[in-house]
Amino acid sequence: MGNKHVSLSMKGPEKDNMSTKPLHHSEDRRKTPHGDTLFYKVMLGLNILAWAGLVVVLILFHYARPEFITGVQQYWGVEGDNTWTMSYVDAMVVLLRICLVLSLISTVMRARRSRRKNDSFGINLIILTIIVATSLITLATTVS
């Protein structure tokens, strides 16, 4: 058969180039710290812009929605606005679309950057995307 225990001896520069320390998968071999790269800063900036946009959408929602008329107000004959303010609704839709695009771009950027087991994926971006998509669908189906 063959010799199962063959050892190759290395001499000179080949032996010097070999590291005696084994590589572990948890070791980070990046030369630049994760937070110092331009790619990471752009990704973080897009993430913050998308979340800030969602906060602005929530403020617009407060002003766009119809007033809630209670039973006491109906009994006393108090009039209230029961229609959506369409200028605010239009602004909400535009801002939600921008937030959706920003969150999707940031998710793709994070997926390209996070290839190691110990890299976080960014569940906040997935949650943001779900919230924004659900809001767009809800506005499209309920507001006329």
Reference 96, options 63, 129, 144; nearest CA is: 129
67 or 7, greater pLDDT: 67
Q: Distance (Å, rounded) from C-alpha 93 to C-alpha 43?
A: 23
> What's the chain's length in residues?
144
Distance, CA of 125 to CA of 102 (rounded, Å): 10
Query: In the numeric block, which tokens belong to residue 127?
Result: 């949650």
C-alpha span between 46 and 22 (Å, rounded): 38
Of 99 and 108, the one with more pLDDT: 99
- pLDDT at 124 > cutoff 80: yes
Cβ neighbours of residue 40 closer than 8 Å, sequence gap 6 or more? 34, 113
Confidence of residue 114 (pLDDT cuts 50, 70, 90): low
Binning pLDDT at 50, 70 and 90, where does residue 40 land? confident
